[in-house]
Amino acid sequence: MKIAVIYNRESQKVINLFGVSNREKYGLAAIQRIVNALKKGGHQVIALEGDKDLIDNLEEFMPRALKGERPGMAFNLSYGIQGQARYTHVPGILEMVGVPYVGSGPLAHSLALDKVVAKMIFVQNGLPTPKFAVLKEPGFAMPDLDFPIIVKPKNEAVSFGIRIVETEAELREAAQAIFDEFGQHVLAESYIEGREINVGILGNGAQVEAFRPAELVFPGQGPNIYTMEDKKQLSGRKIEVVCPAQIDAATEIKALEIAKGAFEALGCYDCARVDIRMDAEGNLYILEINSLPSLGEHGSYVAAAEAMGMPFPKLVNRLVEVASARYFGTPHPPQMSRRVKDPAEGVFAYLTERRDQLEKRVESWTEVSSRSDDAVGIRVAADRLDETLTDIGLRQVREFSDQRDIWTWEGPRGIAGGTVLITHLDVPVNTNLGIERFRRDPEWLYGEGIGTSRAPLVQLEFALRALKHVRKFARSRIGVICYTDEGRDCEESAEIITRACAGASRALILNPGTSGDCVVHARRGQRRYRLVVEGKSLRLGEASRHPEVMRLLYKKLDAATALSNRKSRIGVSAVDIKTEAFPRRLPHRVQTVLQVSYPSIGDADQTERKMRELFQGNGVKWSLIRISDRPPMITEQINTALYNDIKMTADTWDIPLSTDTSLWPSAAGLVTSPTSVLCGMGPVARELHTSHESVSRISLVQRSLLLAQCLLNITENS
């Protein structure tokens, strides 16, 4: 499990420093001791300050969990940075963002930290506590309490401001010091002369257990209370912790009952320490409850656990277990492992347990440069992919591989009648753009080609490895096609893609999913043309019966773009213009790239005829050359059935999925009937082909899981 140990020590990262500052801190050695104990328990651990960056840091460390996935957990040690009810701040944040955590919730912490409210609740529940009064301001009326009296701040912990007073003058002096230093009301209560007993609590509900009482033994000098100076080892005396306390069995049973009652009355979770005073007659009184008991090496809570046969690493990991039981209903939430018999659950476990590996593999792929015009980089990337797929158990199909623009692999049972997974290796990006390095934020992964190419490659690898993990790969009819001329409109790979898919039952195109968690069931086709117009070379302002080439071209382009028809889903646009001219003369030759988006081949042919009729005459030479044609992906009944099957799988695993159409073509248009095809099966991405291209972190694992489960279902049903 991923566990974030959250503490407050050095950081003051807040919007403003305002209000009463926290004085409680865990030592670095104590924090590291807890981290080491959790790692010893097999957890992946990080230590984080509980400041304003906490949410971002948690999201980066433990991204949003899938349905059924064991989420990460926070191990809360946080005392807060500033302000009121500081113990509640981090638990409140964790509640808001939905991160499970060890320890009490905001309500219990606020009640425990307010000593007056806590004592009122104890009284209401018939739990013994010393008689008390609240001193609200200087000049207060004397409380109805006998001396000696103990005074402390109403809303502080760890002995801040605590003092025993014997006279009215001492009481007023001590109260004034608290008013001045802490700016809050003063709790005054009868001082119970006697022994101090601490009872540690571990668990929840019917599973609550109380440790055997630990006694604080005070030396002869100084007051018989545990002061802040004692805790910081500045008092010159040593307070010993004896566990179990040397008290009779009846008193011990009574102490445990009182401690459990206090824990339940305030609604604490997982752990607490109840401080009790025992007078000379053996009567017990609750002083306070610490809802965030210290896990310091020399604290009474840790000492009591050790006396119960629970050494420190076991105690820390037991706290995680009881919190897990509270959230998930079992001390050990189901963790999928290699022993899982259900293949679907095994696939789920394999992928969700490797989320970090998925992201690291994406990062490593972004470091491999393979832009569409980089033949060397493409070759390096192809060799790397071949090594990966060979390791999984696929072999190259020479018939459908040219070792330059396209490679095809197949599983042990071949492609015929099976599933073909199609993706591309090249990164189609403007060569003028700088290389975007990998980075992540809580929701997105960034890097060059990360959505168009890199994340789909990782999705492909891990889906196949998951299938192999549950021993279903050898039975699968699977093929993989990877082409490298996406940036060149599949000029060289198109024919091979069509042939390779002809014998398959279905093809899944690992292009990125669109916003809204959509896959694509229909895409328009796209043709690109090179229009060349040549005329006479003219001087600026020259009178001539020959037209200016640029002026004529602009008029013709305006007429060509007017062929666009939203209703007919036809789009025509000029996307690039290059001119040629002699020195000090107007352009006499112009090349223009025209792009046409269309829904069907018939529409494309009709639009092309109109363009050829348009681009002629007027005393210049026209040449319209089709340079590429990417067929449309047409929605057919077989594609709808394929989507419905995938949608059913997505619903089973609570993966959001819907359908969309796209203006842009893809390799899906090269897959011909009767092979069914669905596009956009890759992770959801945004701002494609820009320097801000990114892929959704949650979608990376969701779509990998969806692909693997779909392949598993196909294999199981074949």
Q: What is the pTM of this model?
A: 0.75
On whether both 367 and 282 belong to a single domain, the answer is no
Instruction: Specify whether the CB–CB gap between 105 and 87 falls below 8 A.
Output: no
On whether both 703 and 620 belong to a single domain, the answer is no
Task: Calculate the dihedral angle through the C-alpha atoms of 616, 621, 624, 627, rounding to the nearest 10 degrees.
Answer: 180
CATH of the domain at 492: 3.40.630.10
Least-confidence region, from 52-66, 149-163, 465-479, 563-577: 149-163
CATH of the domain at 621: 3.30.70.360
| Token digits of residue 484 | 């490298």
Q: Is residue 408 very low, low, confident or very high in pLDDT (cuts 50, 70, 90)?
A: very high
On whether both 490 and 362 belong to a single domain, the answer is yes
CB within 8 Å of 326: residues ≥ 6 apart: 204, 269, 270
User: Rounded distance, CA 148 to CA 139, Å?
Assistant: 20
Res. 33: pLDDT tops 50: yes
Least-confidence region, from 17-21, 132-136, 342-346, 436-440: 17-21
Give long-range contacts, CB 8 A cutoff, 24+ apart: 637-646: 638/673, 638/674, 638/676, 639/521, 639/676, 639/677, 639/678, 640/521, 641/676, 642/506, 642/676, 642/677, 642/678, 643/519, 643/521, 643/678, 645/710, 645/713, 646/519, 646/678, 646/681, 646/706, 646/710
Q: Is residue 284 part of a domain?
A: yes
CATH of the domain at 196: 3.30.470.20
- End of a domain among 630, 650, 674? 630
Least-confidence region, from 107-121, 175-189, 367-381, 580-594: 175-189
Q: Helix/strand/coil (H, E, C) string of 641-659?
A: HHHHHHHHHHHHCCCCCEE
On whether both 607 and 707 belong to a single domain, the answer is no
Instruction: Provide mean pLDDT across the span 421-430.
Output: 92
Res. 100: pLDDT tops 80: yes
pLDDT at 233: 60
Coil/strand/helix, residue 200: strand
Amino acid letter, residue 414: G
Residue 186 vs residues 48, 143, 714: alpha-carbon distances, Å: 34, 12, 71
Instruction: Specify whether the CB–CB gap between 342 and 461 falls below 8 A.
Output: no
Instruction: Provide mean pLDDT across the span 254-260.
Output: 96
On whether both 239 and 294 belong to a single domain, the answer is yes
Task: Calculate the dihedral angle through the C-alpha atoms of 172, 173, 176, 180, rounding to the nearest 10 degrees.
Answer: 180
Where b means 16+ CB within 10 Å and e means fewer, 595-618 reads ebbbbeeebbeebbeebeebbeee
On whether both 126 and 77 belong to a single domain, the answer is no
Q: Is residue 692 part of a domain?
A: yes
Q: Is residue 379 part of a domain?
A: yes
pLDDT at 712: 96
On whether both 652 and 592 belong to a single domain, the answer is no
| Token digits of residue 670 | 């090269």
Of 72, 56, 3, nearest to 31 by C-alpha is 3
Q: Is residue 350 part of a domain?
A: yes
Of 287, 269, 270, nearest to 118 by C-alpha is 287
Res. 36: pLDDT tops 60: yes
Of 90, 282, 319, nearest to 200 by C-alpha is 319
Strand blocks (E) in 41-103: 44-49, 73-76, 101-102
On whether both 612 and 639 belong to a single domain, the answer is no
* Range with the largest mean pLDDT of 112-116, 251-255, 427-431: 251-255
Alpha helices in 435-501 (DSSP H): 455-469, 494-501
Strands 506-509 and 419-424: parallel
Instruction: Provide mean pLDDT across the span 422-433.
Output: 87
- End of a domain among 297, 328, 359? 328
Res. 487: pLDDT tops 50: yes
On whether both 43 and 84 belong to a single domain, the answer is yes
On whether both 377 and 469 belong to a single domain, the answer is yes
Residue 32 vs residues 50, 53, 202, 556, 662: alpha-carbon distances, Å: 16, 21, 22, 74, 52
pLDDT at 333: 42
pLDDT at 335: 42
**Ordered DSSP codes for 662-676:** ESS--GGGGPPTTSE
What is the largest distance, in Å, between two alpha-carbon atoms of the chain?
123
CB within 8 Å of 412: residues ≥ 6 apart: 393, 473, 474
Cα dihedral 695, 698, 700, 703 sign: negative
Q: Is residue 213 part of a domain?
A: yes
User: Rounded distance, CA 162 to CA 285, Å?
Assistant: 17
pLDDT at 337: 39
Coil/strand/helix, residue 117: helix
Q: Is residue 509 part of a domain?
A: yes
Please write the tens of the pLDDT for every residue from 610-663: 999 999 999 999 999 999 999 999 888 788 999 999 999 999 999 999 999 999
Q: Is residue 288 very low, low, confident or very high in pLDDT (cuts 50, 70, 90)?
A: very high
Instruction: Specify whether the CB–CB gap between 704 and 480 falls below 8 A.
Output: no
Instruction: Specify whether the CB–CB gap between 47 and 109 falls below 8 A.
Output: no
Domain total for the chain? 4
Query: Is residue 20 classed exposed, middle or buried when 0-12, 13-18 and 19+ CB atoms within 10 A define those classes?
Result: middle
Cβ atoms within 10 A of the Cβ of 147, count? 13
Whether omega before 148 lies within 30 degrees of 0, making that bond cis, reads yes
Look over the chain and give the mean of its residue pLDDT values, rounded to a whole number.
91
Instruction: Provide mean pLDDT across the span 486-514.
Output: 95
Q: Is residue 164 part of a domain?
A: no
Res. 129: pLDDT tops 80: yes
pLDDT at 19: 67
Domain residue limits at 248: 111-130+192-328
On whether both 426 and 311 belong to a single domain, the answer is no
CATH of the domain at 93: 3.40.50
pLDDT at 22: 66
- End of a domain among 595, 630, 665? 630
User: Rounded distance, CA 126 to CA 124, Å?
Assistant: 6
Please write the tens of the pLDDT for every residue from 311-370: 999 999 999 999 998 988 755 444 433 455 799 999 998 998 899 999 999 999 999 999
On whether both 83 and 123 belong to a single domain, the answer is no
pLDDT at 251: 95
pLDDT at 545: 84
pLDDT at 231: 61
Least-confidence region, from 140-149, 534-543, 600-609: 534-543
pLDDT at 338: 41
